[in-house]
A and B are shown apart, each in its own frame.
Chain A
Amino acid sequence: QSVLTQPPSVSGAPGQRVTISCTGSTSNIGAGYDVDWYQQIPGTAPKVLIYSNSDRPSGVPDRFSGSKSGTSASLAITGLQAEDEADYYCQSYDSTLSGWVFGGGTKVTVL
């Protein structure tokens, strides 16, 4: 049972827009802690896609965007491409647990 809640899977056709939600609580996202999003291709380490809720590291396409409101955050992928098929995780900090917390992960499938 992950502290942050994500849908197990989302799918979309090439070119479409998909969103992944990440729901937390008042001790993590709702307390003002930033949310990072990771993309993970099976067999590789997680790669930062979005940090500080909505910023992109250099090299990450602007098709990826993040937002945060209240106790939730979301990742949007516009212009979905085959290469976007991967697992996506949200991550924040929790003041009660005094550590990082993750979502359970969302598998994105390009139809």
Chain B
Amino acid sequence: QVQLVQSGAEVKKPGASVKVSCKASGYTFTGYYIHWVRQAPGQGLEWMGRINPKSGGANYAQKFQGRVTMTRDTSISTAYMEVSSLRSDDTAVYYCATPTGDFPTWGQGTLVTVSS
């Protein structure tokens, strides 16, 4: 079955960077976009952007342009999302999701805590 498994929780200091991974299985990795969504504590879901695993091309929500980079490694069916210049308001759970089949499959989420 389609599955996305994300990397573990991270604690970072302000100004640092974090890179979250999302390993796909159960489908053709290069056939479907990988989207990234984040959820700050007590807040709603916020779309960050998506990457085309086949081409490597990505488009980002305007809010994250210049600070977020999405990449992939097709040899291991894994997508990555890196956030630079972390701030305290980047503290959130970060999810990857892919719209295979009838509806999207989501990863389990990765908590990123930004604290000095």
Contacts and interface: CB of A to CB of B under 8 A. Distances in A.
Interface of A: 2, 36, 38, 45-46, 48, 51-52, 55, 57, 89, 91, 97-105
B100 to A, nearest CB: 12
Interface stretch (B13-21, B23-31, B45-53, B74-82): B45-53
A51 B102 contact: yes
B57 to A, nearest CB: 12
B72 interface: no
Given A100-B47, A105-B44, A51 B103 contact: yes
Given A48-B103, A51-B103, A102 B108 contact: no
B61 A99 contact: yes
Interface residues of B, number: 19
A104 B35 CA distance: 18
Given A45-B106, A45-B108, A99-B61, 12 more contacts: A36-B103, A45-B95, A52-B102, A52-B103, A89-B45, A97-B61, A99-B50, A99-B59, A100-B50, A102-B44, A102-B45, A102-B47
Interface of B: 35, 37, 44-47, 49-50, 59, 61-62, 95, 102-104, 106-109
Contacts of A102: 37, 44-47
Contacts of B102: 51-52, 55, 57
B61 A105 contact: no
B15 to A, nearest CB: 27
A103 B104 CA distance: 17
A101 B37 CA distance: 10
Contacts of A45: 95, 106-109
Contacts of A52: 102-103
B103 A46 contact: no
B79 to A, nearest CB: 15
Contacts of A104: 44
Contact of B104 (A36, A89, A97, A105): A36
Nearest to A97: B61
A99 B95 CA distance: 15
Nearest to A51: B103
